[in-house]
Chain A
Amino acid sequence: MADDFAPSALDNDDDAYTVRPYTVTGGRVAGQADGLALEALVTTRTEGKPQKGLTPEKKKILQLAAEDFMSVAELSAHCKLPLGVVRVLVTDLSDNEYLTIHATAPVSLAVEDRSGITRSLLESVLDGIAAL
């Protein structure tokens, strides 16, 4: 197990950011899960696929997302699991058809990419906030 973790310089933030939620995620590490937005909404699929054999963490996610649309960030907060872990679990549950990830806008890792932010969207947001 120790080998799964690279020793990292305690005083270097970049190196220290080695999220290896190995046990909870069953050895799967973040990859495509990195692209999952914190605000992406998920819902549990309603086909009633048997949850036998799923980890308690996964069952908890499915339970939460069965009640309402749940963002990745909310799942992380309610499950008290780090974001990186929840991203991996959600991606895995989606791959295995337990839940649906509702894509918000085209996924782009570039912070500068603002193509999803359209005028009509901003107008709706502005009207909505003004009416609060």
Chain B
Amino acid sequence: MASQPSNAAVTDGAAHVAPTVVKIVIAGGFAVGKTTFIGSISDIDPLNTEAAMTEHSVGVDDAGGITERKTHTTVAMDFGRIALPGSLWLYLFGTPGQDRFLFMWDDLVRGAIGAVVLVDTERLDQCFPAVDYFEGRSIPFIVAVNCFDGVARHQLDDVREALGLSAGVPLIYTDARERAATKQALIAVVQLAMERLK
């Protein structure tokens, strides 16, 4: 992990300008390596936050009494932060794994530079919701095949075909545990976002 940003920020009052904040979303299916990816390059240990879903049900029990049940379901997601020169803070937000939580993605994606969709070639179908989501909203995204155990088991061309990815979507190998590899993935996203400006 890199060193903490040196921002004595708030101590001497209003004169300090807040860092400029940018973010990149790390998406993909359950256990594909999102948290590992974020942790490989974040300045801070990945933090975990959640949105709460409160589900209420009212019923009648056997004795005729009213029962009230409140179920808290929480959708966890984690994120990291990287301080870049020029007072830039880059946040990496991992999406909740299961696609039943797609409704939360707008919050994560709003204002993002782009996204990395992580893929485990053993479970290709798990990335379909993410690919569909970003394609549908014209959000720049790359697909990164996470090489579990450092082994690429499939040719990228085959993965591209299996996913039905258009030629415009960059497809790379990565290793979620390796900072050098995750750094390249982030660079690819930013480069894509720049190309899209043209």
**Residues of A with Cβ closer than 8 Å to B?**
2, 5-8, 10, 13-14, 16-21, 37-41, 43-44, 46, 65-69, 71, 73-74, 76-78, 82-85, 102, 104-105, 108-113, 116-117, 119, 121-132
Expressed in whole angstroms, the minimum distance between the Cβ of B187 and any Cβ of chain A is 5
* Contact partners of A46 in chain B: CB under 8 A: 10, 13-14
Contact call A112/B55, Cβ cutoff below 8 A: no
* Contact partners of A16 in chain B: CB under 8 A: 53, 55, 73
Complex Cα spacing A46 to B14, Å: 8
Expressed in whole angstroms, the minimum distance between the Cβ of B25 and any Cβ of chain A is 11
Expressed in whole angstroms, the minimum distance between the Cβ of A55 and any Cβ of chain B is 17
Q: With A17-B103, A38-B108, A85-B52 as known contacts, state yes or no: A77 contacts B10, CB within 8 Å.
A: no
Q: Looking across the interface, which residue of chain A has its beta carbon closest to that of B197?
A: A119
* Contact partners of A68 in chain B: CB under 8 A: 7, 9-10
Partner of A104, one of B58, B90, B100, B111: B111
Partner of B190, one of A7, A102, A125: A125
Question: Can you give 30 contacting A-B residue pairs, CB < 8 Å?
Answer: A2-B58, A5-B54, A7-B58, A10-B71, A16-B53, A18-B55, A21-B52, A39-B21, A46-B13, A68-B9, A69-B19, A69-B89, A71-B81, A73-B93, A76-B50, A77-B49, A82-B52, A83-B49, A83-B51, A83-B107, A104-B111, A105-B111, A109-B110, A117-B193, A124-B85, A124-B86, A125-B113, A129-B90, A129-B190, A132-B183
Contact call B91/A39, Cβ cutoff below 8 A: yes
Q: Is B68 part of the binding interface, using a Cβ–Cβ cutoff of 8 Å?
A: yes
* Contact partners of A69 in chain B: CB under 8 A: 7, 9-10, 18-19, 89
Q: Is B47 part of the binding interface, using a Cβ–Cβ cutoff of 8 Å?
A: yes
* Contact partners of A124 in chain B: CB under 8 A: 84-86, 88
* Contact partners of B20 in chain A: CB under 8 A: 104, 121
Q: With A38-B108, A69-B18, A73-B91 as known contacts, state yes or no: A82 contacts B56, CB within 8 Å.
A: no
**Residues of B with Cβ closer than 8 Å to A?**
2, 7, 9-10, 13-14, 18-23, 41, 47-58, 68, 70-71, 73-74, 79, 81-82, 84-86, 88-91, 93, 100-101, 103, 106-111, 113, 137-139, 179, 183, 186-187, 190-191, 193-194, 197
Contact call B18/A41, Cβ cutoff below 8 A: yes
Complex Cα spacing A125 to B21, Å: 10
Contact call A67/B10, Cβ cutoff below 8 A: yes
Contact call B49/A40, Cβ cutoff below 8 A: no
Q: Looking across the interface, which residue of chain B has its beta carbon closest to that of A41?
A: B18
Contact call B51/A8, Cβ cutoff below 8 A: no
Q: With A77-B49, A124-B84, A126-B191 as known contacts, state yes or no: A13 contacts B70, CB within 8 Å.
A: no
Partner of B103, one of A14, A44, A108, A123: A14
Contact call B21/A104, Cβ cutoff below 8 A: yes
Partner of B113, one of A2, A37, A71, A122: A122
Contact call A73/B49, Cβ cutoff below 8 A: yes
Partner of B137, one of A7, A20, A85, A111: A111
Expressed in whole angstroms, the minimum distance between the Cβ of B61 and any Cβ of chain A is 15
* Contact partners of A111 in chain B: CB under 8 A: 106, 109-110, 137, 139
